[in-house]
A and B are shown apart, each in its own frame.
Chain A
Amino acid sequence: MVEGVLSGYRAIDLTNEKGFLCGKLLADFGVDVIKIEPPGGDPSRNVPPYYHDEPHPEKSLYWISYNSNKRGITLNLQTEKGQALFKRLIKETDFLIESFKPGYLASLGLEYKALSSVNPGLIMASISPFGQTGPYAGFEGSDIVVQAMGVLLCQAGNPDRPPVRTSVPQAYLHAAADAAEAMMIALYHRGHNNEGQCIDVSAMESVLWTASRALPFWDHSKVQSERTAGLIAASGKYTPGIWECKEGYVAMVFQASLMGTRINQRLTKWMEDEGMAPLFMKEKDWEQWDWLQVTQDELDQLTDAIGRFFKAHTADELEEESTKRGIRMHKVCNSADTFANVQLKARAFWVSMAFDYLDDTIIYPGAFTKLSVTAMKDWRRAPLIGEHNREVYIDELGLSEVEFDSLMADGII
């Protein structure tokens, strides 16, 4: 087996859905990630959807999605014995990720200062809605709240309805990926200076960074973001980004100047081949077509002609032919389309993950990147509640059977 790019490191993951992805990125790269849950299991095991729609803490597909490749143990951090055990684990740990309410770990005596006195090389990332300190540090913020305050929400929707979010929660994926990125930055520093540190990730800022393309427009002329349904706004002009087809939708954006010349020429040719290109499109010198000069009237005329052309075809037909003709366009895909995609298949993206306890194999999205030397390691399903307790506490930490049993009986493990 090829080693992972980060094989040999260990991480402890104390997060809930606000941080799962961070530990998963580490685990996907070969870090031994130990997910700690309270005895009885994490509340986030009750997030739907479920395997075969059977609500059960070990069948949450949400949990399974973002905890693969991790090991799982249980530990009650609210007890003194639990805290002592945690510190023993920390001694041998490179990365710690947590997403508790700011101040919670400190209330248990497990803040970075206390932990780094046990292990000065420890790199710890705290993910919270707004940051560990400041006027909003005590605020609660789930996906929609953080997206609202972090400007992302106001950038999507129909003008006659409220701003709208993506139905699969996104905010904490941005934040957790930022935490993973930040941990690598801290690892570089540790590699050269032998010291660990703690990282304070604000999910609102992660989301705001994602929305930040709005900043230059505000800086330039105090332009706010707007919701434009399926339109794309550029320099005060609007063109469709999403087009309705005979069946389904496609996404394509006009581009002027050099960027768009070839695409516009190819699209015109395609329409011409099918007898659907109006004269003004055929006669247009696309090389000279300048976005700053073009009028909204002309864009509307174009939109009209192209819209009619697209409506005469299904999205699947357009997808196939546009690929052949080198036109930058895609069908608005759903998960069935994603699963059927030829490019993903050709790159061997999907992995089969064995779920022994379900007597089943689940097809699962694979590596987020390909590395030439250090391939992703073997894929392992998310852990059951306390699945690796014995392995971690007895085999690795060196607890005796008697100690282990008594900690189990006392509800510490």
Chain B
Amino acid sequence: MHQKALQGLKVAGFVTGGVGPIITKTLATHGATVVIIESGKKHNITRSGGPFKDNLNGINRSYSFAFVNTDKYSLALDLKHPRAKEVTQRLVQWADIIVENWRPTVMERWGLGYKDISTINPDVIMASFSHEGRGGPHGEVPGAGPALSALSGLIELTGWPDRPPVTLPAFGILPDYIAPRFGVFAILAAVDYRRRTGKGQYIDLSEYETSIQFQIPAILDYTVNKRIQRRDGNRSPYAAPHGVYPCQGVDKWCAIAIFTETEWEAFCKVLGNPLWTQDPKFKTMESRKKHEDMLNKYVAEWTLERKPEDIMVMMQSAGVEAGAVRNIGDVVEACPQLAHRGFWWTLEHPEIGKTINAGSSYILSKTSYHLEKPAPCFGEHTEYVCTEFLGMSDEEFIDLFQEEVFV
């Protein structure tokens, strides 16, 4: 078995909601030792999101929590307890990295702001993730995923030009899946910097600012050309046909994208060169763009009589870009490519039972990842973390336990 890449890296995660758990999941998947700190006293958002095993709400029954917390250790800790400091002090000394995504000021209130933390462990790397970043007039405004999606500009760019914008994919919280990539990148870059210089540092990441990185061309179109880009359905300014076409069956669709004349010729050939394809209106990209409505109607007539997966294979075999629109069940049950790459992992969770888990979107040749442990039950590793990782004696642990610090 290969060694995982991040073996030996120690992470303490004061995480909640989406971004924090996702970042620490990536680190854990690739071998870091990740301890999440949670309290049963404070409402635990991540554990209270459904769906639940047998539809019964319970702290260890959330599928969503189980999915995003594989390979982590759970330490139960009441951060408002006067003696919690005895634990956090050791945690901060132990950790290479502190990740947190509470609302700005919350960590400070717990005595765990960067100032406090870097006093305990000057070499530590601390990463704070918030919706709009630290400081500024909105630094402390509470955020919510779907609202951030609106602020980011991505909602305005999604949907049909003649209709109101639509909810973004990822259940409306797309930015929660953008920020973690930048976050892991920044954290590990800082880890490498520390390896070379011995210096730790503080990372202040605004989800808003990372979401803007996903639309720079539209932003520059405004700052340079004063043009405000709007949603344009599935069209592309430099491709036609370019869209999602109806297929045989209920709610079945196939995406097709033609960027070059060579692709257009190959596409026509797959269709059997019907008469309409020879219409001069469709001869060049420019004229296809001009007559796109009519073009799309013809394409849809052809796709409607076929199944999306069949169209995909016919087109791809001829060098034409096409892809069946798939839903989550389709890819879990029957995607040969994902099966080939070993993307799905089944783990046995003590309360939920068998769970399906997603792996990593990349494979490293020498340090391939493998998911090992299901998400922890609440506080499952409290004693283990305190005594094995933090070097607490049994007496100390029992003392704090009896004082109800670990709740």
Contacts and interface: CB of A to CB of B under 8 A. Distances in A.
A395 interface: no
Contact size range, A? 35 or more
Contacts of B201: 371-374
Given A153-B169, A252-B146, A189 B336 contact: no
Given A181-B185, A343-B138, A212 B167 contact: no
Interface in A348-382: 349, 362-374
B287 interface: no
A164 B159 contact: yes
Contacts of A152: 169-170
A64 interface: yes
A153 to B, nearest CB: 6
Nearest to B158: A166
Interface in B136-174: 136-139, 141-160, 163-174
A402 interface: no
A148 B225 contact: no
A343 B139 contact: yes
B113 interface: no
Contact of A162 (B177, B220, B253): B253
Contacts of A367: 209
Contacts of A257: 43, 48
A221 B294 CA distance: 41
A373 B118 CA distance: 13
Contacts of A221: 51
A362 B223 contact: yes
Nearest to B257: A142
B203 A369 contact: yes
B396 interface: no
A25 B189 CA distance: 11
Most buried by A among B189, B190, B233, B235: B189
Interface string B271-306: 000000000000000000000000000000000000
A98 B346 CA distance: 32
A335 B221 contact: yes
A202 B362 contact: yes
B323 interface: yes
Interface residues of B, number: 159
A165 B231 CA distance: 9
Given A178-B361, A242-B155, A328 B326 contact: no
Nearest to A328: B144
Contact of A331 (B64, B150, B186): B150
A185 B167 contact: no
A338 to B, nearest CB: 5
Nearest to A24: B213
B109 interface: no
A370 B202 CA distance: 8
Contact of B214 (A150, A170, A219): A170
Contact of B220 (A64, A197, A214, A371): A64
A306 to B, nearest CB: 14
B341 to A, nearest CB: 6
B218 A215 contact: no
B33 interface: no
A363 B223 contact: yes
A145 B158 contact: no
19 contacts: A48-B238, A65-B220, A125-B362, A138-B316, A140-B321, A151-B328, A151-B331, A180-B185, A181-B188, A185-B5, A205-B341, A220-B51, A234-B50, A252-B146, A329-B147, A333-B152, A364-B223, A365-B216, A371-B186
Given A184-B184, A210-B178, A242-B167, 9 more contacts: A156-B169, A158-B166, A187-B192, A214-B327, A219-B67, A222-B329, A258-B43, A373-B200, A374-B190
